Structure 1
Amino acid sequence: LANTPLSKLRSKWGVNGEVIWRVANGLDDSPVTINTHSVQKDIGNGMTLPRDYTEQWEIDVVIQDICTEVCRRARKKGLMGSVVTMSLSGADFDRPTGFSRQVKLQDPTNITVDVCKTAKQIFRQHWDGQPVRRVGISLSNLSNAETYQLSLFEDQEQKRAVDKVMDDIKDRFGDIAILRASSITSAGQAIDRSNKIGGHYK
C-alpha cells in the first residue's frame, strides 16, 4: 500500500484511498499533545505482608507506614485529597475476608497524621478480627495543595512543618533515614521495603 501510487488508490476508494495510503506511509497531521493522560484521580499505596497480621497494633503500624508514603507522594505532586479509602484482605482467596471503605474528610489534606488518624478509624470500625495479609490506602477527590482551609482549632501549620522536615530528610538521605519508632518494631515493613524494587529484593 505504501508503494502504490496515490492516484490509483484514490480512484479505487476515493478519500478512503488517501487515508489508507497516508497510514501506510506513517503520515499523520494530528496535533501532538504534551499530556495524553487524564487527570490523576487518586494517590495510593498497598502492601502485601510477609505473614498474617492478627493484632491490632501490628496493623496500626502498617497503616502508619502506608499513610506516610501516600501523603509524601501527594505532597511531591502538590496535591491533597478529601476522601480516604482503606481496604484490607486476608490470604485465603477461597474464603475472602476484609473490607474496602472510604470516608470523606471535612477539608482536603495531605498531612500524614490526619490521613493516618482517619485510616485507623476506618480500620477499627470495620475490622472483624480476621487475619490480615494485604492493606491498601488511597487519597482521592484530589485538589491543588496551594489552597487550603485554615483551622482555628488545630495547628495544621505545625503538622505541615513536621511533614516537610521528614520529606526533606528522606529526599536527601533516603527513605529510611528517618522513621517513626513503630516502623522498627516486628510489624514494621518500611526497612524491608526499602531493600526492594517492585516488591523484589534489589
Structure 2
Amino acid sequence: MAQLLHLPDLAAARPPARRRGVAVAASGARVKQGEAGKRRVIRVADPVREGRLPVPPTPPLFAAPVTPSESPAASRRREEDEEERQRYYLNMGYAIRTLREELPDVLYKEPSFDIYRDDIVFKDPLNTFKGLENYKRIFWALRFTGRIFFKALWVDIVSIWQPAENLIMIRWIAHGIPRVPWDGLGRFDGASVYKLDKNGKIYEHKPRLI
C-alpha cells in the first residue's frame, strides 16, 4: 500500500515580499544610492530655507552707478564757465585771423578795432598809450608819416604763434621805398606781442624792433 507523505506549505515558508517603492526625500534632503541598490534618505540642513539666515538680495544685471545729484547753482556755474570758454576761443580765433589778414596793409589802410578792448594799452620801448582812441591815433600817424616819407609801404608776416594760451606773437618785416632821388629800400624787422583777456579780447600790444 502506498504511503502518503505530508509536504510542507512552501507558500507559508516563503519570506514575505518587500514592497517596491520610491523613497521621496523631504524638502532640503538628498537621496544616496547604496551598494546593494537600496535607497537611503539623508537629511541635509538648509539654514536659508529653514529661515535661520536671510536670503541675500539679487543685484540687478545692469545697475547704473549712483552719483550725487548736482545742485542748481553748480550746474548753472558749470554752464556759464563752458559758455565763457567757447566765447574765448571764438574771439581768439577771430583776432588771429584779423591780424593775419589786415596787418600787411596796416600802413596805408585802417584796420578793424573790434578785436581790441576799449582800455587797450599800447607799449613801445619809449611810450605808453592807453585807450582805444589813442590806439587808433597811432595807426593814423603811421599812415600819415608813411605817405610823406615813403613812396610805398607794406608789411610781410613771417610767422604767427601762441607761446601761451593768452598770448599771440607775430614776427613781421616792414618794407618801405623812401621818397629820395636815388633808389633805396628800407627794411625793419620786428615782433608784436598781443595779450588776451578771459573773453579773447586784446588788452595790450607791445611792438619792438629786432
Task: Report the TM-score when normalising by structure 1.
Answer: 0.22
Determine which structure has the larger strand proportion and give its number: 2
Q: Which structure is higher in helix share?
A: 1
Structure with greater contact order relative to length (CA < 8 Å, sep ≥ 6)? 1
TM-score (ref. length: structure 2):
0.21
* Higher alpha-carbon Rg: 2
